[in-house]
Amino acid sequence: MGQNHTETYDYIFTGGGAAGLSLALHLADSPLRDKRMLIIDLEQKKQNDRTWCFWSDQPSRYQPILYRSWDEIAFESESFSHTYALAPFRYHMLRGIDFYRHAQETLRSLPNVTFLQAPVESVQDGSQHAQVTAGGQTYAAEWVFNSLFRSSEFKITDPRYHDVKQHFKGWEIETETDVFNPQRPTMFDFRTPQHGVMRFVYILPFSPRQALVEYTLFSADLLPPAEYDLALKAYIQDVLKLTHYRIEAEESGVIPMTDQPFPRRAGQRILNIGTIGGRVKPSTGYAFLRIQRDSAAVVRSLTQHHHPFHIPADPALARFNDRIMLQLMQRQGPKMKGIFTDLFMHNPIHRLFRFLNEDATIGENILLMASLNPWPFLSALFKLIRSRQV
């Protein structure tokens, strides 16, 4: 038998989801486009397994594949209802299947990019190269970008940090009559029983009779599977006043929301990206724009410094705000409905978007905090101080 030959690449991506494919696309648009790349994933990414929503005041590089874009959004609760004009921002929806197709078609057209469908069995660091074993074969690369993360295996090991999950289930429904305004998605609708934790529904309308209706919770514990269906049925019946509709598709997921640090550097030749690289915003679960910014920063580091590690840390003020919000979600869940209602009632949407994007100035942060009842935040801050988290 012949000896196995170790194939060598410039970059190996362990994981071909949003983070791995986004970084590969940014590299393909850069002076490093001719580097040899290997993208390894166990799945073919042929299904619409998720939906990403984000807002931006700049043209998106994914403009041609955006499923929908909107110029306004709605907020709903029993005590406050309002529709916000977003300009110069727009609110975008990108389906997972459209992103995967675009990324794979773009990257497969390059002769220097290889896809491998196989389980990643090990990643070993080295001074000159890192080695990845996948499907029984070993591959070497100058740099490995790792995005492998299993939420079911993730554990908070330090009691000082918060363990909140964003878990959700959504139905794409079609109705028999015109129900939805296709020009106005609902970002938050709190007209659903809270039961001690933060729960809301958001609606992404595609036409007057079609929409994605998604039931979302921020809490430490998941629900029994049947309870998500019961909550969706109750919302559609009691709030939307619908009794006749068809479920065309479903989606569900769990996103970890924690202030436990995720190390970026996993070795001399390994960089963690995506969820395992801490690119999910701890207090909201939003990740897509953070992944795009991070991909651009990694490419700049590779181009200017010849390694991927010269990337900015998350702003200290944003980390502090995340800790406060997580403390409130984990310890004072019933108050979150009122806090979010006050945020949307007393702040312009542009300030909120910049705050959530970590682009708000110190002055905007002060104005936003001043719009809220201070006592829950002071209580959360005191508990953080006692646990030596600040």
Instruction: Answer yes or no: do 123 and 190 share one domain.
Output: no
pLDDT digits (tens, 9 = 90+) for 120-148: 999 999 999 999 999 999 999 999 999 99
Phi, psi of 106 (to 5 degrees): -65, -45
Question: pLDDT digit string (tens) for 152-195?
Answer: 667 787 888 888 999 999 999 999 999 999 999 999 999 999 99
Provide the mean pLDDT of the chain: 92
Average pLDDT over residues 110-114: 97
What is the pLDDT at residue 153?
64
Same structural domain for residues 116 and 265? yes
Instruction: With H, G, I as helix, E, B as strand and everything else as coil, classify residue 260.
Output: coil
Does 359 fall in a domain? yes
Q: What is the CATH number of the domain that holds 135?
A: 3.50.50.60
Domain match, 144 and 22 both: yes
Residues 113 and 175 in one domain: no
Kindly state whether residue 144 falls inside one of the protein's structural domains: yes
User: DSSP H helical segments within 67-208, as ranges?
Assistant: 96-108
Same domain, 37 and 142: yes
Q: What is the pLDDT of residue 378?
A: 67
Structure tokens at 62: 């994914």
| Residue 196 confidence class, pLDDT cut points 50, 70, 90 | very high
Q: Which two tokens stand for residue 212?
A: 């994605």
pLDDT tens digit sequence for 56-66: 998 888 999 99
Asked if 125 and 249 sit in the same domain, the reply is no
Question: d(Cα 205, Cα 181) in Å, to the nearest integer?
Answer: 7
Percent of the chain beyond pLDDT 90?
A: 75
Judge if 170 and 227 occupy the same domain.
yes
**pLDDT value of residue 249:** 93
Same domain (yes/no): 18, 138: yes
Do 50 and 105 have their domain in common? yes
Closest C-alpha among 152, 151, 125 to residue 140: 125
pLDDT reading at 390 higher than 60: no
* Res. 72: pLDDT tops 90: yes
Residues 180 and 287 in one domain: no
Q: Give the range among 9-13, 17-21, 103-107, 338-342 with minimum mean pLDDT.
A: 338-342
- The number of domains in the chain is 3
Q: Which domain holds residue 344?
A: 316-386
Same domain, 218 and 267: no
Angle at 157 between CA 339 and CA 269, to 5 degrees: 105
The residues near 336 (Cβ < 8 Å, ≥ 6 apart) are: 194, 197, 198, 218, 328, 329
Shortest CA distance to 380 belongs to which of 158, 216, 162? 162
Predicted local distance difference test score (pLDDT) of residue 8: 96
Given this model, what pLDDT does residue 264 score? 95
Question: Can you list the pairs that 60-63 forms with residues at least 24 positions away whose Cβ atoms lie under 8 Å?
Answer: 60/92, 61/25, 61/29, 61/292, 62/92, 62/94, 62/99, 62/102
